[in-house]
Structure 1
């Protein structure tokens, strides 16, 4: 009986040590992502958690702009995150300011700009530059993102096409929600945003990418903040998001995986 009790006590002690060890190595990873990678991350986070003790807590915000829920605004309010996922140029700015650790940037995906109309509405041709220009000028209302893609369209593409003045009258910048949602409600005839931000939206028809002559490919990247709670866990999550295992989900979301070499 004494031997059995000793064995039982040893087993209980080992179990307690195992539980304590598991609790000590588990981490909550606070991640904020811009819209382009949002749908992919929603699917990938649970898959990551199946093969890790860590828990991923996701927040959302645009890569740039002054909207209250944009990533710059939330960081300016000292909201704490461990990993940022957003347009590469915007992440570079956070590295320069010291918000994100130098050497932690990992390009995850390439993203391009597309267009959509309300489901069932006529689909204008945007496959060539003349057709694209006609579609823009003939639309009674146009919506574009307040983030990277919309800034590019409004400040570079429209002026280059010679239609900036006309677009100032018919186009509007959308803050704090997806362009596709605005199009689905019938508040804009034509909407532009990253392809991965358009295709998940119900009530719209995706009509294609804008012409190659004005297309902008943006790398969306992950970086680790300077006040990260658990550096090992943050690196582990980014490594998973950058791995071949994540590629099918990324491609389904309308993005192109990069599969980079990790910097650490």
Structure 2
């Protein structure tokens, strides 16, 4: 009882997301499928959840195509926190319960820290900056990358951008490519660009801006339903949203 009161009080004060203590119950290991862009957020929240609940998390971060494959043909999982594009795949969608919106994020451009910031304030300036850049980097094989590729087509510059793109296979490669001088610009979702070593130039112009949504849902066949629900409640809690905002994302809504 005392522990429950302490946890509840801490939650009200915004000190930590409230998770019911186990009181000696069996600890579950939860298998979580997660979008690679969520790595910095979930690696910060995961230890907090494990400490508060006693459950362990095994998080598999990956790109949208691989997450669809994992949901439909891979090993059993308990929770998915994935780009909404995963739910557009009808086969993958059947493996999830109805989701809640965990977070959303817009797109932006970043340069190496201290480098001059190009003008992307208008659609014309944005296009000019992309065409004049010697090299850009992003992750084409992802939900975010798919939107960026469609935008290049919309701008009529897909051939020029293809020639100067340094493609990454995981979001973790984007920032190092800019920091080490391999790429002049990083073009991706803002939470990935919110990182040491780079400066965010700004968001895409409003005409081209779009938000990528990350829903969270239980696996329909999870054997750890209560623990999985507790994890989703945890990442949706007021204290967890502080981390979400600090990482450059907008907390979602149920």
| TM-score when normalising by structure 1 | 0.79
- Following superposition, the deviation at residue 173 of structure 1 comes to 2.8
Which of 82, 97, 109 in structure 2 is aligned with 1:102?
A: 97
Give 5+ residue unaligned stretches, structure 2. Answer: 1-21
Matched, 1:228 2:229: no
Matched, 1:148 2:143: yes
Counterpart for residue 111 of structure 1: 105
Distance 1:243 1:195 in 2: 22
Task: Answer with 1 or 2: which has the greater Rg.
Answer: 1
Counterpart for residue 38 of structure 1: 39
Counterpart for residue 249 of structure 2: 255
- Following superposition, the deviation at residue 120 of structure 1 comes to 2.6
Matched, 1:71 2:62: no
Pairwise mapping of residues 1-264 of structure 1 onto structure 2 (< 5 A)? 22-24=24-26, 26-64=27-65, 70-75=66-71, 78-93=74-89, 96-97=91-92, 100-103=95-98, 105-146=99-140, 147-154=142-149, 156-176=150-170, 177-200=172-195, 202-260=196-254
C-alpha spacing 1:150/1:135, structure 2 compared with 1 (3 Å): same
Give 5+ residue unaligned stretches, structure 1. Answer: 1-19, 65-69
CA contact 1:98–1:226 (8 Å) conserved in 2 = no
Cα distance per residue 1:78-110 (max 9 Å; x no partner)? 2332111111121342x644652332x111011
Cα distance per residue 1:189-228 (max 9 Å; x no partner)? 111111111213x322221111111011111011222332
Distance 2:96 2:163 in 1: 42
- Aligned residue for 1:254, secondary structure, equals coil
The root-mean-square deviation of aligned C-alpha atoms, in Å, is: 2.1
